[in-house]
């Protein structure tokens, strides 16, 4: 009887290790993620097409490159403001896309008089890297981009602006005590922590109950620590924001089905700096801007005008 029990326990343990390995690949290893994201959101009529066309006409786009401290080669684009300015917006994209997904936000910031840095995250687009960092590794990369900007212009006034995983990156970065030239943050539909987001998606996409998803995710976190250099508990926006004292605007769609809107309250309550909240009715994930463009642009401009000059 004891041998049978031991055999069953071993079989379950092996099955958990294998399942965790499969999900680790799905979640974190660079690959086509369209089976998770449902394909490109730009296949439908694009409400932000006007902004994308405007961006394509912006002159003086400059290719920029950065080698991260761990050797990953990062690719980006720097676009000077139409008139010389110390204000620079770093615009950060989300999961399973590249910088093209946030061109409308980059264009908005450029129209508001900012220089813009628009990069492909590690493990995305033209940048190198094998593992997605869920905000933690990306935040460390963007700290290096920030240092590059400040070296080129010590008078820089920098806004960090991210959507989805980019929103989590923005919040994680806020907890890393960036240089004083970083004046404010905007996060749009970022999650409260990597672990909670994975627990939510495990149930939504694969109908895995929380009691089973929890140990799977803990095993995946060990794989991540060994292979990618970070554990999932390090990608925790709530914990990061408890160390932040700088201004942040939080944006979320009220009908977000990918990063549930309740996570907005978690991150909003966590930050220790000046803050504002903007929620958009009838907006799913990454739809807040397209659903109410005029109000969205007004919120961003009025918030930043208090802290960036």
Q: What is the band of 35 on the pLDDT scale with cuts at 50, 70, 90?
A: low
Q: What pLDDT, on a 0 to 100 scale, did the predictor assign at position 36?
A: 57
* Domains of the chain and CATH, by start: 1-31+196-233 (no CATH), 46-193+235-305 (3.40.50.1820)
252, containing H or E segment: strand 248-253
pLDDT at 43: 53
Lowest mean pLDDT: which of 5-9, 238-242, 284-288? 5-9
Mean pLDDT of the chain: 94
Quick one: what percent of the chain has pLDDT higher than 90?
Answer: 89
pLDDT band at 42; cut points 50, 70, 90: very low
**What average pLDDT does this structure show over 133-150?**
98
With contact defined as beta carbons under 8 Å apart, do 281 and 291 qualify? yes
Tell whether the model's pLDDT for residue 32 goes beyond 90.
no
Percent of the chain with pLDDT over 70: 96
* Residue in 164, 145, 158, 147 with CA at minimum distance from that of residue 185: 158
Tokens of 21: 């390995």
For tokens 């212009």, name the residue: 153
Output the six-digit token pair for 25. Answer: 């690949």
> Given pLDDT bands bounded at 50, 70 and 90, which one contains residue 12?
confident
pLDDT band at 226 (very low <50, low <70, confident <90, very high): very high
Cβ burial, residue 144 (10 Å; 0-12/13-18/19+):
middle
Mean pLDDT on 63-76: 97
Name the token pair of 187. Answer: 């996060």
Residue, of 42 and 271, whose pLDDT is higher: 271
At residue 2, the pLDDT reads: 75
Would you say residue 20 has pLDDT above 80?
yes
Categorize the per-residue pLDDT at 37 as very low, low, confident or very high, splitting at 50, 70 and 90: low
Average the pLDDT over 233-243 and give the result: 98
What would the pLDDT profile of 188-221 be if each residue is shown by its tens digit? Answer: 999 999 999 999 999 999 999 999 999 999 999 9
pLDDT at residue 41, rounded to an integer: 45
Q: Which of 170, 191, 176 is nearest to 249 (CA)?
A: 170
Confidence of residue 4 (pLDDT cuts 50, 70, 90): confident
Is pLDDT above 50 for 19? yes
Q: Tens digits of per-residue pLDDT, 248-275?
A: 999 999 999 999 999 999 999 999 999 9
Please tell me the predicted confidence (pLDDT) of residue 40: 43
Alpha carbon distance 259, 285 (integer Å):
7
User: For residue 15, which phi and psi values (nearest 5 degrees)?
Assistant: -60, -40
Helices (H), the chain: 2-28, 34-37, 49-56, 103-111, 136-152, 165-174, 194-206, 210-227, 237-241, 262-270, 288-291, 293-305
Q: Model-level pTM greater than 0.85?
A: yes
Residue owning tokens 């977000």: 256
């Amino acid at each position: 009887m004891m041998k049978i029990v031991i055999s069953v326990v071993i079989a379950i343990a092996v099955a958990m290790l294998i399942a965790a390995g499969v999900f680790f690949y799905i979640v974190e290893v660079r690959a086509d993620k369209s089976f998770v994201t449902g394909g490109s959101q730009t296949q439908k009529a694009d409400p932000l097409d006007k902004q994308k066309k405007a961006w394509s006409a912006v002159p003086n786009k400059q290719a920029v490159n950065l080698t991260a401290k761990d050797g990953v080669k990062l690719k980006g684009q720097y676009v000077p403001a139409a008139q010389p300015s110390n204000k620079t917006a770093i615009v950060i994209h989300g999961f399973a896309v590249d910088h093209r997904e946030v061109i409308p936000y980059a264009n908005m910031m450029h129209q508001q008089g900012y220089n813009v840095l628009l990069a492909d995250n590690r493990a995305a687009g033209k940048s190198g890297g094998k593992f997605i960092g869920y905000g933690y590794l990306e935040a460390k990369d963007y700290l290096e981009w920030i240092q590059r900007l400040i070296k080129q212009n010590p008078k820089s006034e920098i806004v960090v602006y991210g959507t989805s995983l980019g929103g989590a990156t923005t919040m994680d970065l806020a907890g890393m005590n960036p240089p004083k030239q970083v004046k404010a943050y905007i996060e749009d539909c970022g999650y409260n922590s990597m672990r909670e987001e994975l627990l939510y998606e495990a149930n939504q996409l694969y109908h895995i109950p929380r009691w089973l998803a929890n140990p799977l995710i803990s095993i995946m976190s060990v794989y991540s620590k060994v292979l990618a250099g970070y554990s999932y508990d390090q990608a925790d926006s709530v914990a990061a924001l408890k160390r932040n004292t700088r201004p942040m605007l939080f944006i979320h769609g009220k009908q977000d089905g990918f990063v549930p809107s309740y996570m907005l309250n978690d991150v909003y309550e966590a930050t220790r700096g000046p803050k504002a909240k903007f929620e958009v009715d009838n907006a799913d994930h990454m739809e807040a801007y397209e659903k109410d463009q005029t109000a969205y642009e007004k919120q961003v401009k009025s918030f930043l005008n208090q802290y960036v000059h």
